[in-house]
Copies of this chain bind each other. A is one copy, B any other.
């Protein structure tokens, strides 16, 4: 048997910060900024409020920040709540083929940083190792594991948190095996929950469970030694496919973090190409909504299946309306959470414009592609072909794009100055003597 767990454990233990290429480390800071923006922007989401209401009475010492809020919780519960808030809008980062890497991982890391002082260099290093661990394990059983019904961000994400915290705790090989094993045997999360609050509970529990796994292993709480690949191990119990080489191949040279994507728009990926084209046409030609006679979209056929709501009434319905998405993009020049609010969905200019949108399928187009034609009242037409929507690997969001997204998400919680400070802390994370500065800077200051 290929000793996958042992090989992975030794890699994690032996890796040094300098082994990680600069581009990968920079990508980690981009994920950090994006993740914190999502969490802060959702700090008062109903899902977060309900979870806090349920567990607040049982939390331990105020060891760690709840991102974007005044409360402090013990590190296990902070990891839980922050894992929920990062993911709840489904606006967090997405590996090109596997999991949402940050939601199950960052909350464990930043809670840990507030408990045991660690440097920014170690934070970024542990984050990179955590992403490698969770993505490789996910990809080793993908897509069969996912097709069976497992929400892979929860089920594989827990390994990332266990590995990253295990690294920071300085676990030895046996203990890191146990940490991965304790993670494996707590792995959970059903796709049946999509559409309910439990979807974001999954990365929250993964962050909490992975952190707990590493802490237990550090106290010599034992597990099976080959929890991933064993005969009755996690991979075989939860999937019909398992390719161990995906986990152990090119360790230290292939970095899954380089396949991480960030969503520029607060809705499903399939609508992004149309939004992207509309924003480009609007900005390049200074289009005014009242001057537009019609908007014609050609899209991948699945877009029509998934986002066919013609007259959305709520912000959530707006996310499943290609008509609203195109209209809000043309009116506002953006498509963040504010443009998918219930207010925006009922804005008279948006309503008028979405009724001028027609959509047709084009089987030649991929999900990330769209053709947009805007016809003006005066007869002029403007067209745009989007080959790769913004945010895809071929056309990633720039650092400036990520800053804009961060400010848009956090505007109701942080002052512009506080947002600017946190943005700077993320970009310079590796230079920080105390990585907990980042967690503390997520908390809004109140009073004079």
Contacts and interface: CB of A to CB of B under 8 A. Distances in A.
Interface of A: 47, 50-51, 53-55, 57-61, 63, 74-77, 148-151, 181-182, 184-193, 195-198, 201-202, 205, 212, 215-216, 218-224, 226-227, 230-234, 236-237
A128 B202 CA distance: 30
Given A60-B58, A76-B58, A149-B232, A221 B47 contact: yes
B53 A219 contact: yes
Given A185-B201, A237-B148, A192 B54 contact: no
A223 B196 contact: yes
A107 to B, nearest CB: 14
Contacts of A76: 55, 58
B190 A237 contact: yes
Given A150-B237, A188-B188, A192-B231, A198 B219 contact: no
A91 to B, nearest CB: 19
A190 B234 contact: yes
B63 A61 contact: no
Contacts of A216: 50-51, 54-55
A193 B60 CA distance: 29
12 contacts: A47-B221, A50-B219, A53-B219, A55-B215, A57-B60, A58-B60, A149-B236, A182-B198, A182-B201, A185-B188, A190-B237, A192-B233
B193 A221 contact: no
Given A50-B220, A219-B54, A186 B205 contact: yes
B54 A232 contact: no
Contacts of A222: 196-198
A51 B231 CA distance: 26
A402 B55 CA distance: 37
Contacts of A185: 151, 188-190, 192-193, 198, 201-202
B54 A193 contact: no
Closest 3 CB pairs of A and B: A149-B237, A149-B232, A192-B232
Given A182-B201, A190-B232, A221 B150 contact: no
A196 B181 contact: yes
A150 B237 CA distance: 7
A75 to B, nearest CB: 6
B184 A186 contact: no
A146 to B, nearest CB: 11
Given A50-B221, A185-B189, A192-B237, 6 more contacts: A58-B60, A58-B74, A58-B77, A190-B227, A190-B234, A192-B227
A274 to B, nearest CB: 29
A232 B190 CA distance: 7
B58 A63 contact: yes
Contacts of A191: 232
A389 to B, nearest CB: 28
Contact of A59 (B50, B60, B184): B60
Nearest to A191: B232
A182 B202 CA distance: 10
A54 B212 contact: yes
Nearest to A154: B185
Given A75-B58, A76-B58, A150-B237, A193 B181 contact: yes
